[in-house]
Structure 1
């Protein structure tokens, strides 16, 4: 008997962004377009957008994906490239992105 294949590991993408002064409304509008596209993409599990209380120019964007392949397909899709252009135009260049594996913890 062979062991069952393990489920692919979920991943979370974390983006730390700085929005240009006066472009906050345009950033949020363009992010909503990106989110709507991602929500229709296979493997997308959720999104969250947060704004810093300490530094209102700083924003945190998180998305969760079924696995690393799903986020890879989204990042290379034509739809993604077209949707993120207007959002990225609202941002300073000092942005950071990290991809993390979601660790499932056993119940205690």
Structure 2
């Protein structure tokens, strides 16, 4: 890899959510997540996301999304439709979830 392969992404941000889905609520969680994701895909500044489930602890999930800027994620977080969709998704979760926003500093192509 050369320095030309690495790019700076100073404007981009990544949101990381660690979630624990309540037993028996997995199907409902996935339905609600797909509703949230469908809205996010239409929201300005949304670049993509991933939903992962732990192989070691199936109740543990990881949700990451990438945004063009901090302003884009702030707009998403204050969107009334987003708030309503996330509320129903969060009803499937234990209270010990966390969300952190990170500045993307470097991207290395795959």
The two structures have a TM-score, normalised by structure 2, of 0.87
* Equivalent residues in 2 for 1:1-108, closer than 5 Å: 9-104=11-106
Contact kept? 2:10, 2:104, Cα under 8 Å: no
Could you tell me how far 1:105 is from its partner in structure 2? Answer: 5.5
CA contact (8 A) 1:51 1:59 kept: yes
**Mapped contact 1:12–1:62 kept (Cα < 8 A):** yes
Contact 2:46 2:72 survives alignment (8 Å): yes
CA, structure 1 residues 8+69, in 2 after alignment: closer, same or farther (shift >3 Å)?
farther
**Aligned residues between the structures:** 101
Q: Flag as ranges the 4+ runs of structure 1 deviating above 2 A.
A: 104-107
Contact 2:29 2:92 in 1 (8 A): yes
Q: Secondary structure at the match of 1:9?
A: coil
Scaled by the length of structure 1, the TM-score of the pair is 0.89
Instruction: Flag the 1:55–1:8 CA change in 2: closer, same or farther, 3 A.
Output: same
Query: Bigger radius of gyration, 1 or 2?
Result: 1
- Runs (5+) with no aligned partner, structure 1: 1-6
Gaps of 5+ in 2: 1-8
